[in-house]
Amino acid sequence: MPKYTLKEAAGMLKTDLFDLVKIANEKKLKPFYQQRNVSGDDFVYFSEEAIRKYQICHQPLKSFRRYLAGCDEEELEEVIETMIKNGKFKRLLLPEFKRLGILERLLESEDYEELCRQFQGHDEWYKKITDRFAVHEPLAAAKFSLENEDLLLLNKALANLKEPLVLIQLYQKSTESKSELGRYIGSLIAEQIDENIEELREEASKLGIRTGKLGRNKSCNPSGTGLTSQYREALNVVKSLRKGIEDYFGIKLPKEVRLSEPEGGYASIRYNRRNDYGTTASTSSSFGA
Amino acid sequence: MELQQVLRQVLEHKIEQRQEIKQQLALYIPEDFAEYIDIETDEDIGLLKKSLPFLCLHEFSHPLYSRGRIVIPEPSCRELYHNGIETGIDKAAMLLGPLLGRYTHEEMLLSHYAMMERVFRDHFDLKKYSDNESSPTFIARLYAEIKEHREQTINSVLKSKLEQLLKIADSNISSHSFSDVVKEYSQIYHQTMFVQ
């Protein structure tokens, strides 16, 4: 059986000796063999299996991802097997997972208990599952141990991923993977232009969840509300139309196109009531002739 | 049961927060815009977006009219005056979109429809205004315009939507003189024009 010295193992795991010793002391990486030579120095050897297990089950996510990126499909299959064997299946990341179509295979098998066991706390995968929530209710029921009435509520919240706050609460109860949860919630938030981002961020923050960057949705404005961005868009329409009219007719419209004499003319007919299009009461005095 | 309570609390909390957001938004919206936009429901945002070109051009037409750039025929009597002039202002808005090269005529028809959809919802579905508040001439004005637009559109979907609005109005109107008022407003609509 191949064995590796401390230095060799550190090279394989792309870590320094100090960290490796620390890891070894934490018993995440068990020495395969240890002996002391005549001069009193320790010689530590690790088995290939132990190193691989550490890589797959304990290595920090970032370097683990790098490791996975270098794996071919056969190696990935091996990684998955190791994960399953060690109950660390949830560490497998979505890109790799997609490459192998594992989720599809598992969902097709409809082995909900196994799915729940394997996916417990893995938010990115869970998102994939909730996408199919309507047809996989037993999965959610098993995951959250929910009764029918709760399921209806949850279904409402999750069916279109419209209620991230509910998700946050539920995840708080059911997951330990905070950073992944944060990314997940962040991606949900980014998808929801019409939701208030700050509100969700704050809520997430109160629960100790970091939502991180919002990712792909660049249109979410920094003020945190998609709704506000719609207002800005609308304001631009107003400004642009005003300019168009001024240019076309060669006139300057009043800075505030608003009625200066509310008692005058037909505007008084509109007194204290909605405007003609029901937009708001205050319009009763706006833009009068 | 405990989870259920948590879910309910979260949902209630979210509703409260949405109200707060609306209030904050009201402060955030620039003043010249906030005056004539109001969020009543989230659904209104979509309608608002669609109807904005018509709404804005309608409001901008008022100062153009007061400066003599728009000719609107005088309504025949005081009772018909306000909505008669507004009919002309509506027509001016419909003309302005293509005139400025900003919107096609069909886009203006769609924009006007979006506004009417909201007005009809508030008037007839939600019954937000009592009969006393709801002016018959206001409805007659809308009726006249919708009828015109139904004839003008080349979009069959829009045509049937406009027909639907007319049916709603028909089933809610009882006044004998209604058709005469509609007729007068139709004439005003036809005869309104810009002058150089």
Query: How high is the pLDDT of residue A54?
Result: 82
How many other β-carbons are positioned within 10 Å of the β-carbon of residue A93? 17
Are A231 and B62 a contacting pair at CB < 8 A?
A: no
Instruction: Report which of residues B169 and B38 the model is more confident about.
Output: B169
Are B21 and A227 a contacting pair at CB < 8 A?
A: yes
Of A240, A257, A280, the CB nearest to B38: A280
Task: Collect all residues of chain A within an 8 Å Cβ-Cβ radius of residue B3.
Answer: 144, 146, 150, 173
Surface of B (15-44) touching A: CB under 8 A: 17-18, 21, 25, 28-30, 32-33, 35-39, 42
Query: How high is the pLDDT of residue B94?
Result: 95
Task: Collect all residues of chain B within an 8 Å Cβ-Cβ radius of residue A153.
Answer: 4, 7-8, 11
User: Is residue A124 within 8 Å of A94, Cβ to Cβ?
Assistant: yes
Surface of B (90-109) touching A: CB under 8 A: 96, 99-102
Q: pLDDT per residue over B28-74, tens digit each?
A: 333 433 443 454 445 556 666 788 788 888 888 888 888 889 999 99
Instruction: Report which of residues A125 and A282 the model is more confident about.
Output: A125
Instruction: Read off the pLDDT band of B9 (50, 70, 90).
Output: low
Of A227, A254, A273, the CB nearest to B63: A254
Query: How high is the pLDDT of residue B122?
Result: 74
Q: Enumerate long-range contacts of B175-179, CB under 8 Å, 24 or more apart.
A: B175/B136, B178/B136, B178/B139, B178/B140, B178/B143
Are B52 and A251 a contacting pair at CB < 8 A?
A: no
Query: How high is the pLDDT of residue A49?
Result: 82
Surface of A (106-145) touching B: CB under 8 A: 144
**pLDDT value at A242 more than 90:** no
Entry pTM = 0.45
Query: How high is the pLDDT of residue A187?
Result: 43
Q: pLDDT per residue over A172-181, tens digit each?
A: 444 333 344 4
Beta bridge partners of A196: A225
Instruction: Read off the pLDDT band of B167 (50, 70, 90).
Output: very high
Of B30, B65, B133, the CB nearest to A289: B65
Mean pLDDT of the region B168-184: 86
Q: Kindly state whether B8 is in contact with chain A, defined as any CB-CB distance less than 8 angstroms.
A: yes
Q: Kindly state whether B71 is in contact with chain A, defined as any CB-CB distance less than 8 angstroms.
A: no
CA separation for the pair B195, B91 (Å, rounded) = 14
Burial state string for B135-172 with b = 16 or more CB within 10 A and e = fewer than 16: bbbbbbbbbbbbbbbbebbeeeebbebbeebeebbeee
Instruction: Read off the pLDDT band of A44 (50, 70, 90).
Output: confident
Amino acid letter at A79? V
Q: pLDDT per residue over B100-156, tens digit each?
A: 988 999 999 999 998 888 788 777 877 766 665 557 888 899 999 999 999 999 888
Q: pLDDT per residue over A148-158, tens digit each?
A: 444 444 444 44
The SS3 assignment for A46 reads strand
Task: Collect all residues of chain B within an 8 Å Cβ-Cβ radius of residue A254.
Answer: 63
**pLDDT value at B194 more than 80:** yes
Mean pLDDT of chain A: 55
Q: Kindly state whether B131 is in contact with chain A, defined as any CB-CB distance less than 8 angstroms.
A: no
Q: Kindly state whether A150 is in contact with chain B, defined as any CB-CB distance less than 8 angstroms.
A: yes
Q: Kindly state whether B62 is in contact with chain A, defined as any CB-CB distance less than 8 angstroms.
A: yes
**pLDDT value at A260 more than 60:** no
User: Between A and B, how many CB-CB pairs are < 8 A?
Assistant: 147
Of A144, A150, A228, the CB nearest to B28: A228
Q: Which of A124-128, B12-16, B91-95 has the highest mean pLDDT?
A: B91-95
**pLDDT value at A256 more than 60:** no
Surface of A (214-253) touching B: CB under 8 A: 223, 225, 227-228, 230-231, 233-235, 237-238, 240-242, 244-245, 248-249, 251, 253
Which ipTM score applies to this complex?
Answer: 0.75
How many other β-carbons are positioned within 10 Å of the β-carbon of residue B174? 7
Domain ranges (residues) in chain B: 2-194
- Among the listed residues A29, A87, A96, the one whose alpha carbon sits nearest the alpha carbon of residue A68: A96
Task: Collect all residues of chain B within an 8 Å Cβ-Cβ radius of residue A244.
Answer: 100-102
Mean pLDDT of chain B: 79
